[in-house]
Structure 1
Amino acid sequence: MKKNPASSFHFPIFRCGTDLVDINRIHDAIKRLGAPFLDRVFTSQEQSDCLREGRLTHSAAASLAARFAAKEAVAKALGTGFGRQGVAWTDIEIKRAADGSPHIHLSGRALQVFDALNGLSTAISLSHERHMALAFCLLTCDPAEPESQDVQA
């Protein structure tokens, strides 16, 4: 009897996360806390992408708020939080592709968790309008048993 090739096919697992952020909240945090806040949450590349000439305009705050929302969305999709039990803010970086579209770069513990989930691909969508910034993250994972259970989400 022939084995049905479709019987060995596994549908991918999709993990999603979303977050909505008040742009003024991020603007105020940057004004109040300055460089320590920026350096804890954003990589130097993210800061230079958003803060033109180091100036905090509404446009810069909106871009940073969208990246803040993206990091929250990715952490939700990974099933972690931030801090001691979770990932570091800078383990999740939002970069720009040549065409200007955003993409996710993971490092450190965020990458370890993604690998433990058998992560195959990432996708991120960002938007901001007036006072709010939104991000939606989709992770595609292989449903096969992970090779190692050393890192738990």
Structure 2
Amino acid sequence: MYQRINGSDWRNIWLMGDLHGCFALLMNRLRQLRFDPWADLLISVGDLIDRGPQSADCLGLLRCRWFRAVRGNHEQMALEALESGDMRLWQMNGGDWYVKGDARQRADVDRLLAHCRRLPLIIEVGMRESAACDRPRRLPGAGLSLAAAGRSPTGTMEPPSSE
């Protein structure tokens, strides 16, 4: 599955990989970057869930208009585990949070995971202007990095300040 996004519709497009349930860490970093949910877009390149303490909250990002994601291997593992009923592989790779969650939370997570079935495997960002990608910024204490894609009519780009 494939999705094309018009990059000209957004002020900034941020790319993120391997969030792995670290929702609070992401929200803190987006505040530091002055992320504007009305003008900016965040694209996850997979693995929203597992390992961190807030996987359900990370799945909740799928409801946000400013968020897009491709299906990562952890989302795929979850879908396969729920379909087959064999949770062992998923649990060995961080899926314990689902099994330990209460029934109400699981019902909401099940709806969000069903949405993961429709996530694209490829997202293409089309832009009219030239584009450059800033170096990834690693968040302290986690394997989470964000990179910014910016555009300029002159073909040059000033990297965002690192604040």
- Fold-level similarity (TM above 0.5): no
Identify the TM-score tier after normalising by the shorter chain: under 0.3
In the superposition, the TM-score normalised over structure 2's length comes to 0.23
Greater C-alpha radius of gyration: 1
In the superposition, the TM-score normalised over structure 1's length comes to 0.24
| Structure richer in helix, relative to its length | 1
